[in-house]
Amino acid sequence: MNPLAHIVSLLAVLPVAHFLPRRWRLGFITLAGLVFMFMLAPAGFWIVLFTVVEALVLERILRNLPKKSMVRQYIPYVLLLNVFTTDIANEAFTRQHFVTAGVAFAVVRVFMTTKQLLGAKSTTLVQRVVSIGAGAWFLPAVVIGPVFSGTTLWDQSGKHSTEPDVGSTEFLYRKLFAGWILTVLVSDWLMQQAGGTHLGRWTAPLVLLALFGHLFAAFWGQSLVAESGAALAGFEIPTNFNRPWLAVDIRDFWNRWHMSMARFVMQYFFLPLNLRGVNARLATAVAFFYMGLWHEAKPGYIIWGLAHGALMAFAPKSADLTSRTARVVNRVATLSLVVLLSYVANYAF
């Protein structure tokens, strides 16, 4: 899916949206995202639509069960299985129909929305439909970007908030443009500099860095587009990156890199397991193993998930190292392993 088409769609929709009341605005922006995905990634659209219908049905059925029921708490996790539809259907459709349409992101957002709706005291049909729909097709984040709950957007649409002033609007449009520059120009330039994915004897470090930079620029850029686009529409979604190159150890890295996804796996995988008596290290490994599968069910990402889980569970904390030299070595080793594992996940298999 062409990032330029996404930017153009945002620029066309936002001026119209500002004339609408906030709740109608959310519905309009969600409908625009639905149409956008249907037109440019139809195969991905049908998977997301199935997930939305499944979520609406499950929410209505499970709401009638006791709030502490195990079935009510854990059956919604079946929604996450829809992530693997893209891998199963790989033979029938080209990958561009799925990955760049953000199917995996939409599935996670729909799951989060369903869980939060089940935790609410009462909901209306409109609230359920718009919230789950926003989780699936909120236009600023319909490609990729942070993961968030549609109920958060619904709550924001019911509150009075001040629209961005001229200065803020100008900054947000610059941020939107910067995101597009990173996604398209910088990302493509770094891929060209890599000269392919082959690791030569002397060029391997530069190739690894260029390939990692290519992925980072594309993902960070699209996250900036999502965050600024949402803000221009009067909504707030999570920030996804916070200068990950400053990370001092692997835990600090995941507090800075794809922060919304890291919080998701810790909240919906680590905590439920840990609170039920599973060892914290094992619960962490399971959480990151799922994150690897969420990206793609293939050997490279399985290794990536297991390795990050093991590092999160066993790697030393920078604060526990008494020597400054040891802390520097730990920092360099952390970022080097992140770059190497990125190559393993995306290019080695």
Q: What does the alpha-carbon distance between residue 337 and residue 310 come to, in Å, rounded to a whole number? A: 12
Mean pLDDT computed over every residue of the chain: 90
Q: What is the pLDDT of residue 68?
A: 85
pLDDT over threshold 50, residue 133: yes
Instruction: Indicate whether 116 and 257 sit together in one domain.
Output: no
Q: Answer whether residue 77 is part of any domain.
A: yes
SS (H, E, C) 118-157: HHCCCCCHHHHHHHHHHHHHCHHHCCCCCCCCHHHHHHHH
Question: Phi, psi at residue 240, to the nearest 5°?
Answer: -100, -25
Q: What angle do CA 309, 219, 240 make, to 5 degrees?
A: 65
Tens digit of pLDDT for each residue in 295-340?
Answer: 988 999 999 999 999 999 999 888 888 889 999 999 999 999 999 9
Nearest to 137, CA basis, from 161, 157, 109: 109
Give the tokens for residue 242: 């916070």
Q: What is the pLDDT of residue 174?
A: 94
pLDDT over threshold 90, residue 111: yes
Site of tokens 């890295």: 253
Q: Answer whether residue 312 is part of any domain.
A: yes
Q: Answer whether residue 229 is part of any domain.
A: no
Helix (H/G/I), strand (E/B), else coil: 20? coil
Tens digit of pLDDT for each residue in 134-143?
Answer: 999 999 999 8
Q: Answer whether residue 52 is part of any domain.
A: yes
pLDDT over threshold 50, residue 291: yes
Site of tokens 């989780």: 135
- Which residues constitute the domain of residue 17? 3-157
pLDDT over threshold 90, residue 100: no
pLDDT band of 65, cuts 50, 70, 90: very high
Please, are residues 79 and 107 in contact by the beta-carbon 8 Å criterion? Answer: yes
Q: How many domains does the chain have?
A: 2
- Report the pLDDT averaged over residues 162-191: 87
Domain boundary among 157, 187, 214: 157
Instruction: Indicate whether 151 and 273 sit together in one domain.
Output: no
Q: Answer whether residue 183 is part of any domain.
A: no
Give the tokens for residue 204: 């391997």
pLDDT band of 158, cuts 50, 70, 90: confident
Instruction: Indicate whether 46 and 149 sit together in one domain.
Output: yes
Please, are residues 33 and 138 in contact by the beta-carbon 8 Å criterion? Answer: yes
Domain boundary among 131, 157, 183: 157
Domain boundary among 157, 173, 188: 157
Site of tokens 């062409």: 2
Q: What is the pLDDT of residue 349?
A: 86
Q: What does the alpha-carbon distance between residue 327 and residue 318 come to, in Å, rounded to a whole number? A: 6
- Report the pLDDT averaged over residues 229-251: 94
Q: What is the pLDDT of residue 11?
A: 93
Q: Answer whether residue 252 is part of any domain.
A: yes
pLDDT band of 4, cuts 50, 70, 90: confident
Q: Answer whether residue 221 is part of any domain.
A: no
Instruction: Indicate whether 144 and 274 sit together in one domain.
Output: no
Q: Answer whether residue 269 is part of any domain.
A: yes
Residue 196: Cβ-neighbour burial (10 angstroms; 0-12, 13-18, 19+): exposed
pLDDT band of 165, cuts 50, 70, 90: low
